[in-house]
A and B are shown apart, each in its own frame.
Chain A
């Protein structure tokens, strides 16, 4: 059988960062091809290349579809051939009906007037095809996430789909919905539709996939024909995580002291869906001089946990107790948390961490203006001195502290955020994805800063999706999945396989990944 789709030697880089290197990938008609890999392994990039989000010319390599080389200029070109991608974040309009959503771009019409009978007839057909028993009139907002996913698929089917790309379709579904969805995929296989399934859930992959490709650091590292050999989960996990340690980590002398932060029985509910428990009665602690990592997949609840601790800046109906240096405290607001000695460096520095239009100086002093403002009037000389001081200490590369923060590189912006929080003189620092989107050199500098903080007797918590980073800098790693801690390892005994296994084991046994939906958290 010849391949319906073949991607040959695809490479793609973003301003110097190589996201894909010589990836070869092919899918046959009537095949379910699973694509697995860590966060940032290049799965989504590969799919964006395929669907034309990154147009021809912006990458190297060739795409062959139906035996012909294709150069997609945008997503319309790929859709015209029947390549349909369904993103993790659903692209449905909540206050429109199922029928309106399915026929949003090309409603059947006569002389420009939408033919409603035809819309309803075809919507019913499509809904029957995906096994969704809902009226075409139902508004999207009234459907659960699982059913919305099916509507997305129905929408794809309305466009004469030849190849369906599903980006973590079951991440936000419960077990029954997931099973139903996978069954649909198997039905499509019978109809000769090729599918690409991106998933973290190896048990699902094992159930439906005909072929598995493992990506790591933008390369194809393993390719498994599921009909020729038995699926070994261990092999897949090892392929996913076993990378060469490209970047090294600074040495440090570890001196762990008294407990500084102790959280017990912490529980948080979703602010919009208050019946959904996002953090499930967890216990967590940090000692002076200790660097604790929190590992987990996106949406595991790590950010939500950190933000709920930080002056209840996320979630509702928060309960549990916090002790700082052995004293029970309550932190009803961010200001109270800062005063108590807690600092939280946000995962998204542009949206949540910095005021990009303001200069470096104003950003550094923002959380501790009182230190430079006796009587609430800012002493600009004192402010300038403090800011310049941090600029030198943290080696922030900027023309001067009056430079607009938005003009700095990612690494330097991150140092500005760190400076802001160091200035508050925290006892415990929570760093959420501190090295995301910054280059290797700046990463090393951030690791050095983390070490200095710990050596100065502060407690440091690092949330990261990059496992080598956690292994390289942490004294202890806690693994979070679906709002609970599912594993804990001493720094020396932790390995990527052990962490990944702890997550996967939990995914399988639990199967109701409710928290996974909160990927893009807003405070």
Chain B
């Protein structure tokens, strides 16, 4: 079981996951480290399941 990582105001530990990237029509991978290295903000948008309304 993974512990909840962070309250608001805390530093988020690195994470990575596989992605589908519609802009490229290809699979990819994304990590918080890469986002930070590129000086980007990250907006995570969780939803229950594909093929349902978001």
Our verdict on whether A and B bind, yes or no, reads no
- B residues apposed to A, CB below 8 Å: none
Chain A residues close to B by CB (< 8 Å): none
